Chain A
Amino acid sequence: MSAVATARDRLPGAATPPPATGNRPRRRYSRTGRILLYVTLSALLLVFVAPMLWALSGSFKPRGDLFEYPPNLIPSPATLDNYRNLLDSQPFWSWFAISVLTAAAATAVAVFVCALAGFAFAKYRFAGKRLLFSVMFSSLSVPFAVILVPLFVLVVKSGLSNPWFALTVPWVAPAFGIFMMQQYIIQSIPDEILESARMDGASEFGIFLRVVLPLLRPSLGALAVWQFLQSYNSFMWPLVLISNTENYTLPLGLNILFKAEARQFDLVLPGAVLASVPTILVFLLLRKQLLEGLSAGAVKG
């Protein structure tokens, strides 16, 4: 169907009526309408990427050129000095490592916990299921600001403020992930597979590990990317928790440069680019799973 439509769009004479096959609806948009649509969408596209391209281009400009007028998108002369200065003068890779490692740890725990709970909610009947599910779901509407102060106090008082532990804590049990997994399991794992595994004498946890998890792979990927991004980009919790500059995460390190007296744009811009490149790459590589995985749960639910 879409192939037909595409071929039709390419015809020079737009007035040519589409072939009148029985159940195909009439065209709803005129040619001008279509042009208008593409123009609008492209303008939006520009609005979306312009600020990012501006920052990218700025990271290659000598400090003085950053605020030249009229603004110039192509840096001339282009230089790598900003990147060199950043990497020489700041512990950028240490920030990066702490962010990546804590995010990876939080993601691993969260994905496992969510898949396990999602499986239980999707495939078992048990007393109290309804209530437990709505308790779980309602945790989505707890604003982090209410937990911020007491969690900080508890973590510090109990001596658990070790950044490696404390940075992962708020991200390990996301209700959204359980909801997503539960929806996905209902849709994609037939009861018969579980039954036949039971016949073969598999334990319930064995079924989860060896039957369910492999079938879940695409949506596990989606959830993992999403969780990773949440933690890698998180700002408020590290901001209150980390006071020792040696343990700074990437956003905190960039924030220090950003908030510095002279607004060190020539250092922050390359840092921002280096911080964003991995997330954008991972997102582009897994975009299909992520976008479909995110929306599938909400749509069918």
Chain B
Amino acid sequence: MTTLQDAPPRRRRQLAPYAFIAPFYVLYALFMVVPIGAAVYLSLTEWVGLGTPEFVGLRNFADLAGDTSFHKALGNSLVFVFVSVLIVVPAALLIAQALNTRGLRARDLFRVTFFLPMVISPIVIALVYTLVFDRQYGLLNSVLRALFGAGNTDWLGDPTMVKVSIGFVLLWRWVGYLTIFFLAALQAVPRERYEAAELDGAGLIRTFTAVTLPAIRPVTAFVVVTSFIGSAQLFDEVYLITGGGPGEETVTVAMFVYRAAFERQQFGYAAAAGLVLFVIVFGVSQILNRVLSIGRIS
């Protein structure tokens, strides 16, 4: 057998790329493909973590289909996906657009500060927002009381307000991160195109739809897919800030999986719920990738 070292240079050059990507695929197989395979197996069993898993066919999936808690979790995750894609992403574009203003001073200060929440640990964020949203002593209600004399909203206890509050935390955490992608894209748009649009007498909105949007399409696609995937598996923020409450108002699918496996020891059922999330997220993002044509190599 000839090793890479003995082979003639041409042959070595043909084999080298495979050797270079091999470590990734080995890790990929071990920590992604094998676990997903194991998830499929577990999802067909009933298992409390001890003894042998008992094969139950598709019963877990049938149970999920009739489990109102699971429906609730799917609905909640959907809400947070919509918040991310329909509010956070456009907000990031708006901020990027503002930061792209010619001659703007302190651009770096704004860009860096808006990004900061992304480098902070979720546990710290949870702590901070528990202090902010507390009904009696929270910073938010204190400020509202001081300014308007009315600050008695139960930000984390009211079924509707809690979604608004978590939605705000998502906005606060993600918007600066997404902004840097949009800003980089906007800065790459050739200035001549704006000048041409201006000469044609295009207004702000027309310029935006005719010049800006087409130019930043690839980045927009990337940002939309990234936020979709990120928000669909939301866990840390809700687990830490609300614990899923009040009731099950903020239990996400990822949290449903966690609870089933590690609070109720229903490993088979949890694996099945995880697979449902996987099929949805993977399927939708493959479709988005195809439609928006990203993730390909020439």
Contact = CB atoms under 8 A, between A and B. Distances in A.
**Same assembly:** yes
Given A40-B98, A235-B240, A296-B184, A137 B142 contact: no
B39 A146 contact: yes
A204 to B, nearest CB: 4
Interface string A230-259: 001101100010000000001100110010
A112 to B, nearest CB: 8
Nearest to A27: B102
Nearest to A147: B35
Interface stretch (A2-10, A74-82, A83-91): A2-10
A193 interface: no
Interface stretch (B54-62, B63-71, B82-90, B257-265): B257-265
Interface of B: 5, 9, 12-14, 16-21, 23-25, 27-28, 31-32, 34-39, 42, 49, 95, 98-99, 101-105, 108-124, 126-132, 134, 136-137, 139, 142-143, 145-146, 172, 176, 180-181, 183-185, 188, 191, 194-195, 198, 204, 218-219, 222-223, 225, 229, 232-233, 235-236, 239-240, 253-254, 257-258, 261-262, 267, 270-271, 274-275, 277-278, 281-282, 285-286, 289, 294-297
Given A172-B27, A235-B122, A283 B116 contact: yes
Contacts of B118: 229
A66 B130 CA distance: 13
Contact of A178 (B24, B121, B137): B24
Nearest to A99: B121
B128 A235 contact: no
Interface in A112-155: 112-114, 116-117, 119-121, 124, 126, 129-130, 132-134, 136-154
Contacts, number: 330
Contacts of B219: 298-299
Contacts of A294: 180-181
Interface in A192-224: 198, 203-205, 208
Contact of B281 (A112, A126, A143, A296): A143
Nearest to B14: A126
A283 B232 contact: no
Contacts of B24: 113-114, 116-117, 136, 173, 178
8 contacts: A28-B102, A48-B116, A69-B137, A132-B21, A141-B225, A149-B42, A151-B35, A272-B123
B145 to A, nearest CB: 8
A271 B284 CA distance: 40
A255 B99 CA distance: 36
A37 B110 CA distance: 12
Contact of A295 (B19, B23, B31, B180): B180
Contacts of B271: 149-150
Contact of A141 (B19, B172, B176, B229): B229
Given A55-B124, A235-B123, A298 B222 contact: yes
Contacts of A148: 254, 257-258, 261, 274
B39 A6 contact: no
Contact of B116 (A136, A150, A275, A280): A280
Given A145-B257, A153-B49, A298-B223, 12 more contacts: A5-B103, A9-B103, A28-B198, A51-B131, A120-B21, A132-B25, A141-B286, A147-B35, A147-B36, A152-B261, A229-B119, A265-B131
A12 interface: no
